[in-house]
Structure 1
């Protein structure tokens, strides 16, 4: 096997980005004399020269309830969200706290149009596997603007807020991002001292504890520590217990000065059962199949074995630097290195013709078997990334400019060792109505020709954008990103010669927008953007996709046209937004759910939609976060003629979320905060042929909290109060169920 770069060598090479700022020369520029944000009245833009400071990296301090007034915290997306020409939906800290969110998946249930997929692809995928507006987004998860390497379930104990940037974002984030990206803003040190601790117990059962401590070291420096521990079992499901714990210390220097440096570390471990869901079967005489829990199987049913576990250990370190070089130039340099070790196994059911007949006719025992997919494996993933960005705001010849230049380089190394079960699991026969979860299977090192698989991905991107104000109210944005994306893949087994594959692609992703801001409270925009998905992008998470044919595929191309409007009302407390869009995906690929094999379907997919949102305060004691999404999806071209005109898989036509909270007696001894909301998604098809369907999802959740004194608060949460049978993770051929009705109680203390 060819020698691969070491972590030390890659970290050294990643320093190339630090030289960008030194090489920047903006000829003919005059330091900006305009407002730093669109929050200033446009008529004053060209008059006086207020001191210019760009927002700091990360979310610090108290954020407005109207999230349109917030920033993303990313240098390459500077300014308030209200002025950015893209649909951006934020799940703020207050909502995360009130809902007692513990995972990224739970947080994103507040964003319509995002669905979760069951792990697929030869057992290589699980963890947070998202589809945004129907498109695969498994590699489009970011933390503080940097890639979050590895495949795992993310816990929310370090989350400040969660941002969903909808629509192709190739110019900003690089390869992928067909439907959009998700960025988590982390908790980082701030000035001041505080200590927050919370303990939660609930049905399932669930036991969870978290602590968040911040200590100011000096006038400009601070440290912060977040810790978490949890033992739980999914409420309403016959599944084993899982556990997780994590610790995240961080340091910040130069807070409130021209140069801020933040260093963060995360150690996170979990050991939890895996769940591939229940199979989808088609009743004789019907053309559309549904999950077997729609035909009488108890939703408590779990078809796993004691071996079916996901055990992960993650170590991640992040360094972020922001330097205000002048009153018009700010430089960002962000670096991340992470390492994940993982053991993973799950069981996928098979139900043959006899099984289907017995199940629907009730003439005999519907006996299921286990497929050959899902055998155990160990994997190691590590990666490193550096992004250097320079943002300049200046005037030339009476025109105001905001110019962004940057270099993005990252490397990811993946290696996986497979195991084989000692017994032939295909000979196992179980009862669909009464599964046997106690049969254990021993396993040994695989002797297959691909027992060991490895992939190394190297990516480099250079990006630039310019926002030019033609008038104080009207501006245009143009941007472009050049990407070089290379993946090398090896597979071998005992006594088997190594197989090597390579995928090497270069491509360009542009964007353009027109933005009109008649006042500080209103924004209207038209935008165009494109993103590309390169062959080999998923080989580290879906090694079953690696084949000679797949190296020859052209990159998928995704194009969006969007028109939107945003407004702030009630003295800026409440933000309303609306957008219409169309996304077209060319050269789409398909992946077989069991084998992981990817092939070019030749499909052209089109999604037209509407996004509506409301965020903020109706009254000072009444908060609201509501969103609605309509998506009209269609396969407009396909090598499979019967699929033309069908809906795109995993795309709900209607989805909506609502969360509201009302405080009574604020600041008084007799006080109560009550709230709740709904999560809804219409039925979706699980495959391109539209022959498998999952019914609509609906969950009614609520909470009530009472401050016992200035430091202690008691909160009770109720989930899925109507006890609806919901499917929270889906894939072709199967669907996993969410929790039934459940309650938790939390006691939180702040000092």
Structure 2
């Protein structure tokens, strides 16, 4: 019986919302060429018309690429903050299918697991150790909701690191993720890729770009996939998606584009391998590190994640030709999720007697212990997110006397409702054993009447302003802020009864940024930047109800600051880019679990600090040799805590070391004997799973490789191998569980381009 449940959901009726947006239309014209100090506003450099052809438009050196975020005009080279890019070329060569797979190329990012009705599943990332649950953007707008995102529409993926309240909005503690979509261009191009292999795995994508007139083009991306994971029991996925788009005014000062996405994903939720302890006082590790089959699945037939996404985006941009551009992005979005998971855990005891009676103690006495169910994992739920966002941005480039300016200002308005309803299992779910969970895997239980409902309605109004001022041709300073007005209404309780919790929160706060930039040459940037972000109370009430259980009006917003010193340098005629950064990130007013009541959260004045180093290289060493690599060192620490034992401990989910490498070499390119060889690694060191550092997962290491041959000018065959050493790795983490990655996998793809 297939675990993927067929569920027909029609797209909701959506109204087209017109907007004015910079977005991709400014991609080619944001960078500000050096001017003479004597230059006046009347002789300012003309605004460059954006490139309209995607072929060859994206440089191998990703420092030269635009940011894709209208609040950060210019290229990545110009932006005084670390930005990692996973370009289209790497996405294609690695045959990336999800956002999580794309982000394996970015060190310093870890994934976490949801917690059923008590929490949230789907894409859950931490950037430099801090949660980025709400910080995924698509084309500079928030991608609302939490779900497993497919990569079939991606042009590239960018990760902005460091507190980013100005560029992203609320939260953005460790930074944010921005996905740039494939948009229409003035060329006719038709491509398709069919992939099959171990699992079994089957996937088909198509990308059709059609020129309609000299200034109008359409694009259509489609995807379908049916797959299972190698060496992982019952991990099945069925998904499909379609994304049409149209752009008017290509190659002119005024562009208008509309994109619609419909996406359905049905897959099995895996809550992870339980953590066990080899002895009293020992460090806990996943059971698979102690001889338990790594392929074990501890769920039941009900465990699923069924998601339907409908997203409509309208973007308008206009360049006035005198250094002034204005743009506006509008998004309507609905995410409907039906989810259930089994979080089976294996505890330990504080005394020898308690330990021997625990799951861990029984395992090491040769028994087959019964697992407990983690909090919040006993009820399936349905959650609907509906949201609208509009961002208007103006950018003005001008001079006053000998001084040159770049002024960016605008308004960001977002409104979101979240409605989550949970129901109990009937009958209740039976217990499961650590060594033989397959006895429960085929169970399919019924559900009773809804017994819990949580509703959130939030509105964010943001005003932002940033000024960059050139004191000389090489030296500039910048300063700006975002002011946010945050309103939230929250209700929780039993459907049909008066709410047991009813909160109304209203707050406003400032997120400043400032720094200095030195550019001795166009391909050299040295900078210092200071940035902040704010997470107001109530942000995660729906998905993290413990944060509401002890809420009171005295809670202060979490505050996060980032200091960074960095350099970005282009080499070999700008074919290759080098980056380096030293940074310190600090989080204050942290919300932590109440040590006396695990169902609630307190604000104890905890402070968390991360200091680190990051270096990277991107681009082509030679015309045949391409490389994208990065390394991150993170020194994390709890510097203040109400729990004295946690002071000085490393932060959970933060590896000290992480690195990624992907490199390819073209042999006999443009001849019938052409071959492209590719290889790469992803590695991170050991990670602690809790604040007191008593549980961990070991280091991850995956060696991947690719060989590609172009059969003719239309057909290319590619073979990808993943985790070729067949190592037991862990791709998502929680305090008492870790999800095991797939075993050695080989896939074969046939790509056609016309």
TM-score range normalised by the length of the shorter chain:
over 0.9
Q: 1 CA distance for matches of 2:269 and 2:300?
A: 9
Moved more, 347-356 or 473-482: 347-356
Q: Secondary structure in 1 aligned to 2:515?
A: strand
Query: Is the CA contact (8 Å cut-off) linking 1:59 and 1:73 kept in structure 2?
Result: no
- Matches of 1:58 and 1:466 in 2, distance apart? 31
* 1:707 pairs with 2:710: yes
Partner of 1:30: none
**Structure 1 residues 94 and 478, CA gap change in structure 2 (3 angstroms):** same
Aligned counterpart, 1:549 = 551
Kept in 1, the 8 Å contact 2:194–2:749? The answer is: yes
SS in structure 2 at match of 1:304? coil
Q: Contact 2:38 / 2:401 at 8 angstroms: preserved in 1?
A: no
Cα separation, 2, equivalents of 1:637 and 1:332: 44
- The corresponding residue for 2:189 is 194
Q: CA deviation at 1:526?
A: 0.6
Q: For 1:299-338, what aligned pairs fall within 5 Å after superposition?
A: 299-338=294-333
Match of 1:23 in 2: none
Q: Matched residue of 1:128: which SS?
A: coil
Map 1:109-120 onto structure 2 (within 5 A): 109-120=104-115
The answer to whether 1:621 aligns with 2:621 is no
Would the alpha carbon gap of residues 327 and 420 (structure 1) be closer, same or farther in structure 2, given more than 3 Å must change? same
TM-score (norm 1): 0.92
Return closer, same or farther for 1:671/1:10 CA change in 2, 3 Å cut-off.
Answer: closer
Contact 1:568 1:575 (8 Å CA) reproduced:
yes
Q: How many residues align?
A: 726
Query: Structure 1's 46 and 749: CA in aligned 2 closer, same or farther, altered over 3 A?
Result: same
1:76, 1:662 → 2: CA distance?
Answer: 36
Q: 1:453 to 1:304 in 2, by over 3 A?
A: same
- Name the counterpart of 2:456: 455
Q: 1:192 to 1:38 in 2, by over 3 A?
A: closer
- 1:394 maps to 2:398: yes
Aligned to 1:73: 68
Instruction: Note the 1:648-659 alignment, pairs <5 A.
Output: 648-659=651-662
Is 2:299 the partner of 1:296?
no
In structure 1, what is the equivalent of residue 726 of structure 2? 723
Quick check: 1:578–1:611 contact (8 Å CA) kept in 2? yes
Counterpart Cα distance in 1 of 2:617 and 2:216: 36
> Which of these residues, 247, 250, 258, is aligned with residue 253 of structure 2?
258
For 2:578 and 2:615, the matched residues in 1 are separated by: 8
Give CA deviations for 1:655-691 in whole Å, capped at 9, x if unaligned. Answer: 0000000001111111100011100000011111011
Judging changes above 3 Å, is the alpha-carbon distance between structure 1 residues 37 and 330 closer, same or farther for their aligned structure 2 residues? closer
Superposition RMSD in Å:
2.6
What is the distance in 2 between the residues matched to 1:524 and 1:573? 19
Preserved CA contact (<8 Å) 1:237 1:299: yes
Following TM superposition, by how much is the alpha carbon of 1:370 offset from its aligned partner in structure 2, in angstroms? 3.1
Q: 2:370 aligns with which of 353, 356, 367?
A: 367
Match of 1:665 in 2: 668
Give 1:326 shift: 3.5
Deviations 1:35-87 (A, max 9, x none): 97667456688386432237589988620000001111332211111111000
Task: Check 1:39–1:396 CA distance in 2 against 1; reply closer, same or farther (3 A cut).
Answer: closer
What is the aligned partner in structure 1 of residue 483 from structure 2? 482
- Superposed CA deviations along residues 619-646 of structure 1, whole A, max 9, x for unmatched, are 0111000100001011110000010000
Question: Match of 1:602?
Answer: 605
Q: Could you tell me how far apart the structure 1 residues matched to 2:677 and 2:508 are?
A: 53
Per-residue CA deviation, residues 459-487 of structure 1 (Å, 9 max, x unaligned), is 00000000000001000010011001111
Pick from 733, 743, 747: which aligns with 1:740?
A: 743
TM-score scaled by length of structure 2: 0.92
| Partner residue, 1:472 | 473
Structure 1: how far apart are the matches of 2:171 and 2:434?
41
Residue 452 of structure 1 and its aligned partner are, at CA, apart by 1.6
Query: Equivalent residue for 2:25?
Result: none
Q: Superposition pairs for residues 27-176 of structure 1, below 5 Å?
A: 40=33, 46=39, 49-53=44-48, 62-120=57-115, 122-176=117-171
* Preserved contact between residue 61 and residue 190 of structure 1 (Cα < 8 Å): no
Where 1:545 maps in the other structure, the secondary structure is helix
Q: Is the 8 A contact 1:121 1:592 kept in 2?
A: no
Q: Rate the CA distance shift 1:241–1:733 in 2: closer, same or farther, 3 A.
A: same
The yes-or-no answer on 1:379 pairing with 2:383 is yes
Cα offset, 1:214, TM superposition: 0.3
How many Å separate the matches in 1 of 2:321 and 2:13? 33
- 1:16-35 to structure 2, matched below 5 A, reads none
Distance 1:676 1:72 in 2: 27
Counterparts in 2 of 1:597 and 1:337: CA distance versus 1, 3 Å: farther
* Residues 189 and 223 in structure 1, CA contact (< 8 A), matched pair in contact too: yes
Instruction: Give the corresponding residue for 1:559.
Output: 561
Q: Do 1:60 and 1:190's aligned partners in 2 also have CA atoms closer than 8 Å?
A: no
Picking from 683, 691, 695, the partner of 1:692 is: 695
- Provide the rounded CA distance (Å) in 1 between the counterparts of 2:552 and 2:297: 35
| Structure 1 stretches lacking a partner, 5+ long | 1-6, 21-34
The residue number in structure 1 matching 2:352 is: none
CA–CA separation in structure 2 for the residues paired with 1:324 and 1:480: 24
Match of 1:532 in 2: 534
- 2:5 aligns with none
Q: What secondary structure sits across from 2:77 in the alignment?
A: helix
> 1:483 & 1:405 partners in 2: Cα distance?
14
Is 2:584 aligned against 1:573?
Answer: no
2:236 corresponds to which residue? 241
**1:238-267 Cα distance to aligned partner (Å, 9 max, x none):** 124220000000000000101001100000
